[in-house]
Amino acid sequence: MGKDEPGRWSFLGHRVPPSFAAHRVVVAPGIARLYDEAEWVDAVVVVERGEIELECTRGGRRRFRAGDVLWLVGLPLRALHCCGSGPAVLLAVSRESNDEFAAAPQSETQ
């Protein structure tokens, strides 16, 4: 999943500033997308359209709808499921990698 041009997308009704990167994830109806934590590092995620269910590693699920804001890092997730009749569209917004505050690898001394 690649990064889209910064500022191209709207996040909660506002343009994404140039110092942020944004990428969209579309999950088709009835489809499960395996969870890969690396896809979501440092990103705030909004459900733009549709409904998505997050499936935990123990099998439980939680449903989120358009307008809900998520953080998908550090969770025991197995998959993301589109549970509506139309596609679920997620927009993930994170700081650009050249941003001085962007997530940096932790040193071994920390």
Answer whether residue 62 is part of any domain.
yes
The CA distance from 35 to 12, in Å, is 24
Q: What is the pTM of this model?
A: 0.74
Answer whether residue 53 is part of any domain.
yes
- Within a 13 Å sphere around the CA of 7, how many CA atoms are in the beta-carbon half? 3
- The three-class DSSP label of residue 80 is strand
- The three-class DSSP label of residue 40 is helix
CATH number reported for the structural domain that contains residue 31 in this entry: 2.60.120.10
Q: pLDDT at position 1, please? A: 36
Domain tally for the chain? 1
Q: Which residue range is the domain that position 56 belongs to?
A: 10-95
Answer whether residue 104 is part of any domain.
no
pLDDT tens for residues 49-84? Answer: 999 999 999 999 999 999 999 999 999 999 999 998
In the chain, what is the straight-line distance between the N-terminal and C-terminal CA atoms, in Å? 30
